Amino acid sequence: MINGEILKQAVISGAHNISVQKNHINDLNIFPVPDGDTGTNMSMTIMAAAKALEDYDGTNAGEVAEITASSMLRGARGNSGVITSILFRGFAQGLKGMEEVNGKNIAAALGIGVEAAYKAVMKPTEGTILTVARMAYEAGVEAANTDSSAINVWQTITDAANDALSITPELLPVLKKAGVVDAGGKGLCTIFEGMLSYFRDGVVVEYDETNEPTMENFESAAAEFDDDIEFTYCTEFIVGRNPEIDTDPEELRDFLKNIGDCVVVVNDDEIIKVHVHTEVPGNALSKGMEFGDLLTVKVENMKEQHKNAKAANKKPKKAEKEAFEPVEPTEEFGFVAVAAG
């Protein structure tokens, strides 16, 4: 059985693991746009939960899951970050009120998150983080029917997630063209692996934010992949819901569908979390304000991100720098002429 303290340490370990590997995940990021920030976004999303959990000293698994989900939704960045937060939000709903949980509880809770994620995304695409999460959940349910121990089920979930990741290029042609697996799916596998480290071995993956790893010798697929970015601005914001406004958030989702893509709208009663790629971020923000006050806003130019990543990738790697070694002189004598003027 897993209690709150164990789940807390597992979430922290998962956050650390993706933070250690975020640069590698960034370099895989070509879908839905090659802006090279999936690892960073997913890392920041779950690190928000890790920091929130530092002050929790209880042992209730349901409470830990709720703190994790709430913190991730508010701290979610990027398309994959928001989807990851939705997965954990469903996970929390499935574990609500539980002091301890077993494998069946975990698998069922993950299923709630998977269902919510598919519903929240405007155009669910197979070969992405959604596929990885779904196949992991399906394997977890099957494993729980045989052995309901939490460690066994999470091991199965993690293994199945990696198996699903390996076939993402076959499901999404753009990945096969670039020769990479899905970045969001890789990020989710990395989080699951970090959590498994604590569930199975009692080890929290180490992470020192003052000593970030570099990828000096890694070729960035995100930087080198040339594909038209249709919508320039990755626009994210949180609306603090006005209780006097009872308009259905689906109206906001429908509006955003008409001005962009990669639309994700999450209604969490007190807040609405929005992610959209668009050419008119101001219009998206204005529509959002019809539901309440803007609490946070982030707008990034994805074309500039891709251009900067491409420029950075052209810098010579350490391995490419010429090594100078002493050699024997080819002539017995040498002359130097010095003249005035």
Closest CA to 85 of 93, 99, 211, 193: 93
Instruction: Answer positive or negative: Cα dihedral of 165, 170, 172, 175.
Output: positive
The predicted pLDDT at position 188 comes to: 99
Q: How confident is the model at residue 75 (pLDDT cuts 50, 70, 90)?
A: very high
* Stated pTM of the model: 0.84
pLDDT given for residue 322 in this prediction: 43
Q: Where residue 70 falls among pLDDT bands split at 50, 70, 90? A: very high
Closest CA to 298 of 231, 235, 253: 235
For residues 253 and 291, give the distance between their C-alpha atoms in angstroms, rounded to a whole number. 12
pLDDT value of residue 329: 47
Percent of the chain with pLDDT over 90: 74
pLDDT attached to residue 34: 75
pLDDT of res. 145: 95
CB-CB contact of 292 with 245 (8 Å): yes
Q: Which pLDDT score is estimated for 201?
A: 96
Question: Who has greater pLDDT, 49 or 231?
Answer: 49
Q: Residue 319: pLDDT band by 50, 70, 90 thresholds?
A: very low
Q: What is the pLDDT of residue 113?
A: 98
If DSSP codes are grouped into helix, strand and coil, which group holds residue 16? helix
Lookup: tokens for 264: 């994700």
Query: Average pLDDT in the 112-116 region?
Result: 98
What's the pLDDT tens digit per position in 166-206? 999 999 999 999 899 999 999 999 999 999 999 999 999 99
Residue range 55-74: average pLDDT?
96
Average pLDDT of 30-59? 91
Given pLDDT bands bounded at 50, 70 and 90, which one contains residue 313? low
Residue 165: what pLDDT?
A: 98
Which range among 110-119, 191-200, 242-251, 330-339 shows the weakest confidence by mean pLDDT? 330-339
Q: If 0-12 CB within 10 Å is exposed, 13-18 middle and 19+ buried, where does residue 165 land?
A: buried
- The pLDDT assigned to 321 comes to 42
DSSP letters, 87-152, are: HHHHHHHHHTT-SSB-HHHHHHHHHHHHHHHHHHBSS--TTSHHHHHHHHHHHHHHHHHH---HHH
Check if the beta carbon of residue 21 is closer than 8 Å to that of residue 40.
no
> Is residue 287's pLDDT more than 90?
yes
- Whether the pLDDT of residue 282 is over 80: the answer is yes
Q: Widest CA span of the chain, in angstroms?
A: 93
Q: Give the separation between CA 152 and CA 324, rounded to whole angstroms.
A: 54
> What's the confidence (pLDDT) of residue 311?
66
Q: Give the mean pLDDT of 13-32.
A: 92
Q: What is the pLDDT of residue 304?
A: 87
Q: Confidence band (pLDDT; 50, 70, 90) for 218?
A: very low
Q: Does residue 44 surpass a pLDDT of 60?
A: yes
CA pair distance 196, 203, nearest whole angstrom: 9
264 in Cβ contact with 79 (< 8 Å): yes
pLDDT band at 87 (very low <50, low <70, confident <90, very high): very high
Question: What is the predicted pLDDT for the residue at 119?
Answer: 93
Domains of the chain: 4-206 (1.25.40.340), 233-304 (3.30.70)
Tokens 């993950």 belong to: 110
Strands 271-278 and 233-241, bridge-based pairing: antiparallel
| Spatial strand order in the sheet of 271-278 | 260-267, 271-278, 233-241, 292-301
pLDDT of residue 303 exceeding 90, the answer is: no
Q: Is the pLDDT of residue 318 over 50?
A: no
DSSP state for residue 218 in the 8-state scheme:
-
